[in-house]
Chain A
Amino acid sequence: MNLKKSFFVAAIFAIVALTCWEFYWRAQGYHPELEDNKALWAVQRGKVNYASSKDIVLLGDSRMLFDLQLDAWEKETGIRPIQLASAGTTPLPAFHDLVENTDFSGTVLLSVHPGIFFSSTDETAFLWRRIKVRIDHYYDRTYAQKLNHFLDIPLQYTFTFLRSDDEEWTDDLNLKNLVNNIRVGNREGEPFPPFYRFQDIAIDRNTKMYDKVVTDTAFANSIIKVWMGDGGPPPEKEATMAYFLKDLEKFKSRGGRVISVRFPSSGGLLKGEEEAFPRKDFWDELKNRAEIPAYHYKDYAQLNSFYCPEWSHLSASDADTFTTELVKILKKDKVLIN
């Protein structure tokens, strides 16, 4: 057995195969991207421990993630916010963690997307569990996991075939996803519609929608199909409100400030949201009971002129403009402390 020869054959064949694999996916229009995973989130969460009272923490779901642009905010205020919003999650557990486990007394900008914010306080609920996994990872991550993340980042920046994510997008390129995308028959009923990744995320989790969503209507429609797929369980308004107000009181008592924002939505999704979560019963009631500055995009002409290409989030350029206009309003109202 000539092991040396086998070793060199293996090394050369593996390198050639991986190079071909990489170029194949690039030829398909993919590019290297960072994963929005629990490790990336945990790094930002760690920054809160060192944040001053002048700092801003962003909490909420994907609307905060897409629509609030860190560069635009920093340009207007000189402060780069800490992005802790997480797609498809309720902000309540992350806010609770901030209140209970940190001394942070700065400003929290909170996305209130009624369908998500008022969803549930059940720790096993989907929207709760997803952010809880990230919070738990922040506390439980080992030194080895921290080092793995540190070593993984340059690779994610370099290789397209590493494209993967906690969200498990239909177009993730890891082997498991490629295999799971194969369908034979329709044994388990109608499958969930394909959900393609539609954003880039930076190392500080600043997130921008792909231009493709704006230019390719079919692509945008595939995302709309996902939003319209499942209405979710009925809201638990009183339980969620009580949970939030309790944390809010404690946060306020140590000098912290919370500003709530309702980001834009469009089309059939907006219609559905307005029907299921009438403004006066949810947004207005929260605003009155919480007694915090609250900004609904519909109340401001500068914020109300945007169309969401996939009905739920702003395009990258619109998100920049929206952020700039929002900061101007906040400054005018003197709710930002610098």
Chain B
Amino acid sequence: MLFNSLSFVVFMIIVLILYYSPILNWPNKKRMLLISSYVFYGMWNPPLIILLWISTMIDWTAGKQLVKEKDQNRRKLWLLLSMSVNLGFLAFFKYGDFLLDNFIALANAIGFEYQPYKMDIILPMGISFYTFQTMSYTIDLYKKKIEPAKTFLDFALYVTFFPQLVAGPIVRSKDLITQFYTPKKATVKQFIWGLFLLTLGMFQKVVLADTFLSDTSDRVFAPDQVLNFIDAWTGTLAFSGQIFFDFAGYSTCAIGIALMLGIILPDNFMYPYASLGFSDLWKRWHISLSSWLKDYLYIPLGGNRYGITRMYAALMVTMLLGGLWHGAAWTFIVWGGLHGSYLILERLQRQYLPFKINSKNGIFLAFLTFTCVNITWVFFRAREFDTAWSMIKSMFFLNPDGEKILPGFDIIKVLTVIGLLFLCHWFMRNTNVKEVTSKMSPLSLGVVWAIMLFLITIAQGSGEQFIYFQF
């Protein structure tokens, strides 16, 4: 079920009525939330709920054993079971076709004719999110960093909680499970703020991403065309905005919906397009994933504990796998590789060419970072390497006779939206929406809110997928 759909409006109204009705006590409210979460997921493809159940059962059992078991080798085996099941699901459902295709290509390259049937595996929605979330639970238990969930219900709800089930934020158990222990009820202020965040998230997704930017990006990234410099940059900027508004919009909706139930989810985006360098970017973009990768991949790989070379290797492996997490294609791996390279170059710059960031060079640095990020988005968005290369060439003036395919107004529209996005991120980088709105008069906030509601309604989101559902 999509947040920007009529079915979700009906679903949410029913959930809220049940949640705030006095007939249910807290455990029953949690049961209701759990069942609602399965309905939310099953409205897309009911049989795939079984994967959620398997993941939940295995990790609950492994978690209990990790707490009970004293023998370190046996504890390792329980952790291995949990990780094998979750990563096994990912490997089969998300990377099955990719692995097979590469195996065939390799076999054919060495002269071995092998042509098996295509598996055409369905990618279960949100599998990358809930498997990472539930793995963090068993890993943290293994490291004795957290207490186990008190009841199976609390744990199952943690794995399945519908606001963040399919596209994050990826929440750590200590931040969410503990909230389920005591009855939760949003205050009137929290409820209305949740509604505001839901509106803001919808506005980002339906109006900014889908209405203003998606068509331009789709047109420019269509295969088999050689584009003019302006068209290539406009399309890339459009995608840059689209993916931010799409994903940040989803996270904002998720945070708002959870808040309407009295549950607090962490921020997932902090104005990333005004980042001062790439370390800063990854503290601001998809924060829940980057912190997951740091804690469960980069640090176990050695982090910065074993010298510079090992640190760079750990950084690169983390970013390459981070790229692969986003999709089963070599273009995503290149995207991750570029980010890894940027991070390494930034560390080298800090070591050999250090300089102080001030208000004068800050915006220039933010703009430079944003420009470099845009180059990586080309590989992220293009389905084929040929398309990506052609785009990159156009962006660097190497296709002087490139086609002009975008209407003049499209270019103005995209540059205006992205220009405002960049400036907004720059001015908001040290504050947040709550702080800014708290300085506004109730009337002005109400008018801004009304404008967003009006535009969402007349944009009529046709229920297009959120981009991050496919990851």
Residues A1-23 near B (CB distance < 8 A): 1-14, 17-18, 21
Given contacts A10-B449, A148-B5, A183-B408, contact A176 B443 (CB under 8 A): no
Q: Does B233 contact A (CB under 8 A)?
A: no
Stretch in contact with the other chain, from A60-68, A127-135, A139-147, A313-321: A139-147
Shortest Cβ distance from residue A176 to the other chain B in the assembled complex, whole angstroms: 5
Q: Does B413 contact A (CB under 8 A)?
A: yes
Task: Return the chain B residue nearest A174 by Cβ.
Answer: B460
**Which B residues are in CB contact (< 8 Å) with A164?**
460, 462
**Which B residues are in CB contact (< 8 Å) with A162?**
460
**Which A residues are in CB contact (< 8 Å) with B73?**
none
Instruction: Indicate if the CB atoms of B2 and A144 lie closer than 8 Å.
Output: yes
Instruction: Indicate if the CB atoms of A14 and B43 lie closer than 8 Å.
Output: no
Stretch in contact with the other chain, from A90-98, A184-192, A203-211, A284-292: A184-192
A7, A161, A175 pick with most chain B CB within 10 angstroms: A175
Instruction: Indicate if the CB atoms of B7 and A6 lie closer than 8 Å.
Output: no
Task: Return the chain A residue nearest B460 by Cβ.
Answer: A174
Instruction: Indicate if the CB atoms of B210 and A176 lie closer than 8 Å.
Output: yes
**Which B residues are in CB contact (< 8 Å) with A144?**
1-2, 5, 7-8, 43-44
Q: CA–CA, A252 to B278, complex, Å?
A: 65
Instruction: Indicate if the CB atoms of A161 and B463 lie closer than 8 Å.
Output: no
Shortest Cβ distance from residue B35 to the other chain A in the assembled complex, whole angstroms: 15
Instruction: Indicate if the CB atoms of B211 and A18 lie closer than 8 Å.
Output: no
**Which B residues are in CB contact (< 8 Å) with A143?**
42-44, 46
**Which B residues are in CB contact (< 8 Å) with A174?**
458-460
Q: CA–CA, A148 to B188, complex, Å?
A: 30
Instruction: Indicate if the CB atoms of A2 and B442 lie closer than 8 Å.
Output: yes
Q: Does A152 contact B (CB under 8 A)?
A: yes
Q: Does A182 contact B (CB under 8 A)?
A: yes
Q: Does B431 contact A (CB under 8 A)?
A: no
Cross-interface CB contact of A151 among B10, B43, B454, cutoff 8 Å: B10
Chain B interface mostly helix, strand, loop or mixed? helix
**Which B residues are in CB contact (< 8 Å) with A4?**
188, 192
Instruction: Indicate if the CB atoms of A13 and B196 lie closer than 8 Å.
Output: no
Cross-interface CB contact of B211 among A13, A17, A148, A176, cutoff 8 Å: A176
**Which B residues are in CB contact (< 8 Å) with A17?**
450, 454
Instruction: Indicate if the CB atoms of B7 and A180 lie closer than 8 Å.
Output: no
Given contacts A9-B446, A179-B413, contact A188 B45 (CB under 8 A): no
Task: Return the chain B residue nearest A191 by Cβ.
Answer: B407
Q: CA–CA, A180 to B413, complex, Å?
A: 10
Instruction: Indicate if the CB atoms of B7 and A175 lie closer than 8 Å.
Output: no
Residues B210-266 near A (CB distance < 8 A): 210-212, 215
Instruction: Indicate if the CB atoms of B446 and A179 lie closer than 8 Å.
Output: no
| Interface mask (A7-51 → B, CB under 8 Å = 1, otherwise 0) | 111111110011001000000000000000000000000000000
Q: Does B404 contact A (CB under 8 A)?
A: yes
Instruction: Indicate if the CB atoms of B407 and A187 lie closer than 8 Å.
Output: yes
| Interface mask (B356-386 → A, CB under 8 Å = 1, otherwise 0) | 0000000000000000000000000000000
Shortest Cβ distance from residue A288 to the other chain B in the assembled complex, whole angstroms: 40
**Which B residues are in CB contact (< 8 Å) with A148?**
5-7, 463
**Which B residues are in CB contact (< 8 Å) with A182?**
409
**Which B residues are in CB contact (< 8 Å) with A8?**
446
| Interface mask (B1-16 → A, CB under 8 Å = 1, otherwise 0) | 1100111101000000
Task: Return the chain B residue nearest A177 by Cβ.
Answer: B211
Cross-interface CB contact of B405 among A14, A180, A186, A188, cutoff 8 Å: A188
**Which A residues are in CB contact (< 8 Å) with B438?**
1
Given contacts A175-B458, A188-B404, contact A9 B450 (CB under 8 A): yes
Q: Does B107 contact A (CB under 8 A)?
A: no
**Which A residues are in CB contact (< 8 Å) with B109?**
none
Shortest Cβ distance from residue B188 to the other chain A in the assembled complex, whole angstroms: 7
Instruction: Indicate if the CB atoms of B406 and A13 lie closer than 8 Å.
Output: no
Shortest Cβ distance from residue B6 to the other chain A in the assembled complex, whole angstroms: 4
Task: Return the chain A residue nearest B447 by Cβ.
Answer: A13
Cross-interface CB contact of B404 among A6, A145, A151, A187, cutoff 8 Å: A187
Shortest Cβ distance from residue B466 to the other chain A in the assembled complex, whole angstroms: 13
**Which B residues are in CB contact (< 8 Å) with A1?**
437-438, 440, 442, 445
Instruction: Indicate if the CB atoms of B196 and A184 lie closer than 8 Å.
Output: no
Q: CA–CA, A185 to B407, complex, Å?
A: 8
Q: CA–CA, A176 to B211, complex, Å?
A: 5
Q: CA–CA, A216 to B7, complex, Å?
A: 40
Task: Return the chain B residue nearest A180 by Cβ.
Answer: B215
Cross-interface CB contact of B446 among A7, A18, A186, cutoff 8 Å: A7
Q: CA–CA, A8 to B344, complex, Å?
A: 51
| Interface mask (A56-79 → B, CB under 8 Å = 1, otherwise 0) | 000000000000000000000000
Task: Return the chain B residue nearest A2 by Cβ.
Answer: B442
Q: 9 nearest interchain CB pairs?
A: A9-B446, A13-B450, A10-B449, A5-B442, A185-B408, A144-B43, A184-B408, A14-B453, A175-B459
* 17 additional contacts (CB under 8 A) given A5-B446, A174-B458: A3-B196, A6-B196, A6-B446, A9-B446, A14-B450, A17-B450, A142-B44, A145-B463, A148-B6, A148-B7, A151-B6, A151-B7, A162-B460, A164-B462, A179-B211, A182-B409, A187-B406
Q: List 30 A-B contacts (CB under 8 A).
A: A1-B437, A1-B445, A3-B192, A5-B443, A6-B192, A6-B449, A7-B196, A7-B446, A9-B442, A10-B447, A13-B450, A14-B450, A18-B454, A18-B457, A21-B458, A142-B45, A143-B43, A144-B8, A147-B6, A151-B7, A162-B460, A164-B460, A175-B207, A176-B211, A179-B211, A179-B212, A183-B408, A184-B407, A184-B408, A185-B408
